[in-house]
Structure 1
Amino acid sequence: MSNQIKMGGRMARAMVYSFAVATLMGCALGRDVVAVKAPAGTNPSKGQAVRIESVLDNRKFEVAPASPDIPSLDDAEDNGQSAKERAIGRKRNGYGKALGDIVLPEGQSVSGLTEAAIATAFQESGYIVARKGDANYDAALPVSARVNEFWAWIKPGFWAITTNQKSEVELQGNVGGIKDKQVLKTEVSESKQMVTGDDWREIVEKGLKALTDQTKQLLAR
């Protein structure tokens, strides 16, 4: 009887794993467009004004990366600069093989999401974020950013799938705890039974929240 129970347990685990693999493969073909909600803050009524002059997407893409956390795009799809600016992840099957891309919709970009996360951090820290056309824009303290890493990926497991997202952003300026150049690094993860478009959105939004929080910590120094 005990041998039958053990065999039944192994078969059940194998069926669960096969289902997970099939689920990943079934949703992984082709490029998926996932809209991400950008962080949104509100300017305080008074405070030091800052302006975010530029946010440069400096990520490096590889054709066949050795690790899933390195940006890459399906060579069967558009690999132009516009696609790279909107790319946030790459789907994989249950064995880790790279498949379809995860990209932002037209009108959204990694640099735009990063700028929103940083701007929100300033606003929640008591700074006024001046935009082009505002009367205080020219007098505001300048800040710029360079995005070296911003990527989401999945890690298949026997019982669960882990969604992950990491960022590395260089901030330049002289505001609060930002002295000349400061590097922010974040990484977040969540455990899932299967991965859908909403899960990609959620992990990226969680990563943006982590970037906002770390920027606030820097400004508070």
Structure 2
Amino acid sequence: MKRLFTGFMLIISSWILLSGCTISDPSATKDNAPVAQEEKKVSEKSIYISSVVDSRKFQKKADDRSVQVIADDEKDIDRVIGLKRNTLGMAIGTIHLHENKSVTGITKEALIKGFKNSGYKFVDKKGISPDTVIAEVKVVKFWTWHTPGVWDIDINAEIEAVITLKNQSAENKIQIKGSGKTKKNIGTEEAYHDAIALARDALLKDLKKKLH
């Protein structure tokens, strides 16, 4: 009986040792050798904006406040964003961007941010590779105006651009738009700038939508 018990304990001990080896290191056996996981390389798309051109078409006068109008003697066209009007709708001046700001400059800054948010890496001319997407931008509308109301006035703004995207294998053209509106008691310069900022944010949302 004692010999039988001793033999039984030896069998149990052997089973525990074998089981322990398997449990503590499941990859130790030849058939279950550890496999090195292959690193996934994420290819980041790069983009270079080669040009941003103010291609807006202006009229000399218009009753429709949303139409882009410019004076014949205006010299700083890239800063013009609207027309000041009195309560009768008559033009009394021009709305400009702040000093050192321009329509093309603001558009480029916004698009760089928009492309980055869509997964692109923005590069300068030296960073261009064969796979880099080249973007050519034409700003066709960048305008703000107000619509009179009973108690408040609506400050509106619209930005529109046409972007040509091309690389070695393809060329694509997209048109993006953004509009903004804010209500104010008085149409101050800052109110118009606020509306432009809202339109710019909407433009970037449309860019992301068109790229995906």
TM-score of the alignment, normalized to the shorter chain, above 0.5: yes
| Contact 2:142 2:159 (8 Å CA) reproduced | yes
| Contact 2:179 2:200 (8 Å CA) reproduced | no
Match of 2:201 in 1: 209
Match of 1:127 in 2: 120
| Contact 1:96 1:156 (8 Å CA) reproduced | no
Match of 1:58 in 2: 55
Percent identity between the aligned chains? Answer: 29
Q: 1:100 aligns with which of 81, 93, 99?
A: 93
Match of 2:66 in 1: 69
- 2:74 alignment partner AA: N
Q: 2:46 aligns with which of 40, 44, 49?
A: 49
> Displacement, 1:186?
2.2
Within 1, Cα distance between the matches of 2:77 and 2:129?
Answer: 31
| Contact 2:153 2:187 (8 Å CA) reproduced | yes
Deviations 1:18-64 (A, max 9, x none): xxxxxxxxxxxxxxxxxxxxxxxxxxx97211001111111111111
> Displacement, 1:166?
0.8
Within 2, Cα distance between the matches of 1:117 and 1:191?
Answer: 24
Deviations 1:127-181 (A, max 9, x none): 111123x4x2354210111111110001111221000011221111148xx9611
* Gap change, CA 1:98 and 1:46, over 3 Å in 2: farther
Aligned length: 168
- 1:67 alignment partner AA: D
When Rg is computed on C-alpha atoms for both structures, the one with the higher figure is: 2
> Displacement, 1:103?
0.9
Name the SS of the counterpart of 2:111 in structure 1. helix
Structure 1: segments with no counterpart, 5+ residues: 1-44
Structure 2: segments with no counterpart, 5+ residues: 1-41
Match of 1:79 in 2: 74
Q: 2:135 aligns with which of 110, 118, 143?
A: 143
Match of 2:20 in 1: none
Q: Please give the root-mean-square deviation of Cα atoms over the aligned residues, in Å.
A: 2.2
Of stretches 203-212 and 103-112 in structure 1, the one that deviates more from structure 2 is 103-112
TM-score calculated relative to the size of structure 2:
0.72
Deviations 1:187-211 (A, max 9, x none): 2211211122221111111111111
Residue 168 (1) aligns with residue 160 (2) = yes
Structure 1 outlier segments of 4+, above 3 Å: none
Within 2, Cα distance between the matches of 1:167 and 1:79?
Answer: 21
Say which structure, 1 or 2, has more relative contact order (CA 8 Å, 6+ apart): 1
TM-score calculated relative to the size of structure 1:
0.69
Match of 1:38 in 2: none
> Displacement, 1:107?
2.8
